[in-house]
Amino acid sequence: MNMNKLLMCMSAILLCGQLNAMDETSFEVPSWEDTLAAYEGKTEKVKSILEKTGEMYGINLSDQEGKTFLIWATIGGNKDTVKFLLDEGAYIDHYDAAERSALIWASMLGHDDVAELLINKGANIGRKDYPAGETALDKARKYKHTKIAELLLDAHSTAKCITWLGR
């Protein structure tokens, strides 16, 4: 088992323990209706869902497909909701059951503005999905999303320069 999968399993075990210890008024795993709000870009509704416990506790919880509010907002192409979720502490590199991050989804679906936001906020540009083993750049090229491919190439070049310079 690779280290990322081990860490995800350990996090899930700890989270389950936390959820079991919470009372019935606490945040539960998001329902389809909850995540639909993110998909549709209903930022205020997402905010009210996430504030059920008086804090943004549920922001990184995932549904049955492993998708978080951030991934659903990305799939819907809702830049404002994505920005809100990132500003509130959503984990940018969470991935779903197919190991697709928000950036991979944005690259597949051609959501230029969302992909640019995710890149600028520091999303992992090298993450690969499963079983295809394709990165966000691979997806952008495959689905002919030229602007996203250019953004990813620029980000990759910048990352290499920073590494080379030792920063």
Q: 38 lies in a domain? A: yes
**Mean of all residue pLDDT scores within the chain:** 83
Mean of pLDDT values over 98-117: 98
Residue 4 located in a structural domain: no
Q: Are 136 and 106 in contact (CB under 8 A)?
A: yes
Q: Is 98 inside any structural domain?
A: yes
**For 26-40, 106-120, 150-164, which range has the lowest pLDDT when averaged over its residues?**
150-164
85 in any annotated domain: yes
Strand ranges inside 23-113, DSSP E? none
CA 27, 32, 33, 39 torsion: positive or negative? positive
List, for residues 133-146, the tens digit of each pLDDT value.
999 999 999 999 99
Assess if residue 7 is contained within a domain: no
Please state the domain count of the chain.
Answer: 1
In a domain, 19, yes or no: no
Q: Looking at the domain assignment, is residue 153 inside a domain?
A: yes
Q: What is the pLDDT of residues 21-55, one digit of tens each?
A: 344 445 567 888 999 999 999 999 999 988 875 55
Q: Is residue 23 part of a domain?
A: no
Contacts of 152 (CB under 8 A, 6+ apart): 107, 115, 119, 125, 135, 136, 137, 140
Structural domain boundaries, residue 138: 31-165
**CATH no. for residue 94?**
1.25.40.20
